[in-house]
Chains A and B, each alone.
Chain A
Amino acid sequence: MNDETLMLAYCGGNATAFENLYNRHKGSVYRYLKRQCGNEATADELFQEVWINIVKARTRYKASAKFTTWLYHIAHNRLIDHYRKNSRLPDSYQEELPDDIEDTFSIDPVSDINRDRQAEKLLDCIAQLPEAQRESFLLKEESGLSLLDIAEVAGTSRETVKSRLRYALNALRRCLRGLL
């Protein structure tokens, strides 16, 4: 059963449908929030607020949009509220990135054990990315959304998402290069 059908079933009072939906997306949404805010306690709080919003909004839900886009839109909005509450929106969300970036780095092939270490290091590298680039990377890897959907969630153009993503991938390759 697809997400939209499950959500409609939940709107009709089927709590098991919500449980399926929640189990399907909880890990991805949680990791997106945790890596974006960099703090487990805050991520716990935002994560619950996102799902509580879904529960509250069930009477208004219409299956005209993809459920995942809606879900991540809510998560993105909660993050923006969180940034604003604590200081201000990070500059990287307003930053214009030049288009002429070259993919000059690559990662050396390594053993499985070393790949585990690389994976750990990758999380550190992700944490160092500017917020907007990090968000594009996480939305791509966690949500399975298309370019257009990510642009909609992030409230920006698809060209901006592509630029952010290209910069993020390049920065991550650079960060991992020569690690092992």
Chain B
Amino acid sequence: MNTEDDKLPHDEQLSSLYNRAKHDIPSEQIDEAILSAAKRDTSTYSLPYNPFSNNWRIPASLAAVLVLSFGIVTLMENDLSPVNGVTPHVIVEDALIQKPSSIAKEQASLAKARSKMATPPLHKPATTEPAISTDAATSKGLFTSKAKETKRNEKLVSKKKQASQRTKPEMADTLSLSAAMPISTVGITTGTDEQAGLPYWQYKDEGLSIRFIQRLPDQTRGYFIGRGFSAEHAELIAQSCVFQTIFKNISDKNTPSEIIYNMQNWLVHHNGKTGEMKTREKWSTQWQQLNIATPAKLAFEWGLLPTTQDYQAGDYNWGMAIFDLPLASSFTLQLNWQQFGEQRNVTIPNMQCAADIHADPESP
């Protein structure tokens, strides 16, 4: 029973005024991200409790499992066929059914790949983490004409809503993928990156945080022309789908766990096709053929997130991630990495490549 002591102090006039000011609601993009995560989660995992359960559910579930198993096997067979001349690496999605021996084998192959590659050092966390703007994050200590670029970027950022409006999600991609692969999308958030002012997609769990921030083609052009690329060659990168990526091992200090990833195993689903990331090694072959100067090639290599890397607890790194997709396209990214002694997987649906938005001329 409520007593006088349990009453909240109240002012009718203020309450009524506040009710008049209640306009803010989350964006439709956020609604969609949360509801699709909730929906996908119910279709992915076993159900602990169902207040509406009936006896027919058990035989029905068994029948559904048989039908789904057959469907998944058929779809996996289809997925094994080469797409765009590349045979995608097929991953068993459920970490629980991956055998330890296969993890060890994969780790050994990753270690072998890593030993062949010179990867830039990781950034150890400082007491106060540095602010990461899209350009600062990309520069990684190289000389940058940031002052000149700042004003230009402000104008670019002001166009971000136009870019988002022009890129419509291609739901068909996501739906067909979710039917084929039971993958968790819980932990994914999206919105506008506070510092870059551009859309981002983020996955976060108890061990990993990875954020992909859209990068406008003009930012990419400016960045690479400023680092020795000709306009023609910078255009090759700018016409790709580029994201600024921030990768952090956020495992607890009391239960630290190393992360190992290999971007070559990540899958990109677009328009019903599956492909791979365009890694620095693939670009390197292209730069070789085009006789790009060494300083420009080095700047490019340092600008990209390493293809494979180890992260101890607290380590973080950033760099560009490039997808060989047309500007303004929508796609689904399937990530995997090793942590806590298992392979972990996540699918980020409806990622949007930036459209080619040009800044207005600067006012005199």
Q: How many A-B residue pairs have CB under 8 A?
A: 146
User: Which of B38, B39, B192 is A44 in contact with, Cβ under 8 Å?
Assistant: B192
Task: Tell me which residues across on chain A come within 8 A of B192, comparing CB atoms.
Answer: 40-41, 44
A18 touches B189 (CB 8 A): no
Provide the bound-state CA to CA distance between A14 and B45, in Å: 13
Task: Tell me which residues across on chain B come within 8 A of A10, comparing CB atoms.
Answer: 38, 42
A150 touches B8 (CB 8 A): yes
Measured between C-beta atoms, what is the minimum distance from B211 to chain A in Å? 10
User: Which of B6, B25, B33, B52 is A147 in contact with, Cβ under 8 Å?
Assistant: B6
Provide the bound-state CA to CA distance between A158 and B31, in Å: 34
B18 touches A55 (CB 8 A): no
Task: Tell me which residues across on chain B come within 8 A of A59, comparing CB atoms.
Answer: 45, 48
Task: Tell me which residues across on chain B come within 8 A of A140, comparing CB atoms.
Answer: 8, 10
The listed residue with most A CB atoms (<10 A of its CB), out of B15, B20, B33, is B20
A169 touches B189 (CB 8 A): no
Nearest opposing residue in chain A for B13, CB measure: A107
The listed residue with most B CB atoms (<10 A of its CB), out of A13, A27, A107, A146, is A13
Indicate if A52 sits at the interface (CB-CB under 8 A).
Answer: yes
Known A8-B49, A12-B52, A12-B53: A44·B26 in contact at CB below 8 Å: yes
Task: Tell me which residues across on chain B come within 8 A of A52, comparing CB atoms.
Answer: 34, 37, 186-189
Known A19-B35, A123-B21: A166·B48 in contact at CB below 8 Å: no
The listed residue with most A CB atoms (<10 A of its CB), out of B7, B37, B43, B193, is B37
Dominant SS among interface residues on chain A? helix
Task: Tell me which residues across on chain B come within 8 A of A51, comparing CB atoms.
Answer: 34, 37-38
B24 touches A30 (CB 8 A): yes
A48 touches B194 (CB 8 A): no
Measured between C-beta atoms, what is the minimum distance from B301 to chain A in Å? 31
B: number of interface residues (CB 8 Å): 51
A119 touches B17 (CB 8 A): yes
B49 touches A11 (CB 8 A): yes
A8 touches B9 (CB 8 A): no
User: Which of B8, B34, B193 is A146 in contact with, Cβ under 8 Å?
Assistant: B8
Nearest opposing residue in chain A for B190, CB measure: A48
Task: Tell me which residues across on chain B come within 8 A of A169, comparing CB atoms.
Answer: 9-11, 14
User: Which of A9, A30, A161 is B52 in contact with, Cβ under 8 Å?
Assistant: A9
Nearest opposing residue in chain A for B189, CB measure: A48
Segment 73-119 of A: residues with Cβ below 8 Å from B: 106-107, 115-116, 118-119
Measured between C-beta atoms, what is the minimum distance from A6 to chain B in Å? 11
> Residues 126-165 of chain B: 1 if any A CB is under 8 Å from the residue's CB, otherwise 0?
0000000000000000000000000000000000000000
Known A14-B52, A107-B14, A147-B7: A120·B21 in contact at CB below 8 Å: yes
Task: Tell me which residues across on chain A come within 8 A of B14, comparing CB atoms.
Answer: 107, 122, 169, 172-173
Indicate if B99 sits at the interface (CB-CB under 8 A).
Answer: no
A15 touches B39 (CB 8 A): yes
Indicate if A154 sits at the interface (CB-CB under 8 A).
Answer: no
Nearest opposing residue in chain A for B53, CB measure: A12
> Residues 157-172 of chain A: 1 if any B CB is under 8 Å from the residue's CB, otherwise 0?
0100110011001001
Provide the bound-state CA to CA distance between A17 and B37, in Å: 14
Indicate if B361 sits at the interface (CB-CB under 8 A).
Answer: no
A15 touches B42 (CB 8 A): yes
Measured between C-beta atoms, what is the minimum distance from B11 to chain A in Å? 5
User: Which of B22, B35, B187, B189 is A56 in contact with, Cβ under 8 Å?
Assistant: B187
B6 touches A119 (CB 8 A): no
Nearest opposing residue in chain B for A105, CB measure: B11
Measured between C-beta atoms, what is the minimum distance from A8 to chain B in Å? 5
B50 touches A13 (CB 8 A): yes
B17 touches A47 (CB 8 A): no
Task: Tell me which residues across on chain A come within 8 A of B11, comparing CB atoms.
Answer: 169, 172-173
Provide the bound-state CA to CA distance between A58 and B48, in Å: 9
> Residues 175-204 of chain B: 1 if any A CB is under 8 Å from the residue's CB, otherwise 0?
000000000001111111110000000101
B191 touches A44 (CB 8 A): yes
Segment 219-236 of B: residues with Cβ below 8 Å from A: none
Measured between C-beta atoms, what is the minimum distance from A111 to chain B in Å? 13
Provide the bound-state CA to CA distance between A141 and B17, in Å: 11
The listed residue with most A CB atoms (<10 A of its CB), out of B10, B42, B53, is B42
Measured between C-beta atoms, what is the minimum distance from A85 to chain B in Å? 9
Provide the bound-state CA to CA distance between A147 and B7, in Å: 7
Task: Tell me which residues across on chain B come within 8 A of A18, comparing CB atoms.
Answer: 35, 38-39, 42
Q: List 19 A-B contacts (CB under 8 A).
A: A10-B42, A11-B48, A12-B50, A13-B42, A22-B31, A26-B31, A27-B26, A30-B25, A39-B194, A51-B34, A51-B38, A55-B34, A55-B186, A107-B13, A119-B18, A119-B20, A122-B18, A169-B10, A172-B11
Known: A45-B202, A122-B18, A173-B11. 19 other contacts (CB 8 A): A11-B49, A12-B51, A18-B38, A19-B35, A22-B31, A26-B31, A30-B24, A30-B26, A31-B24, A41-B191, A45-B191, A48-B190, A55-B186, A119-B18, A140-B10, A148-B6, A166-B9, A172-B11, A172-B14
For the complex of A and B, 3 pairs with smallest distance between CB atoms? A12-B50, A44-B191, A48-B189
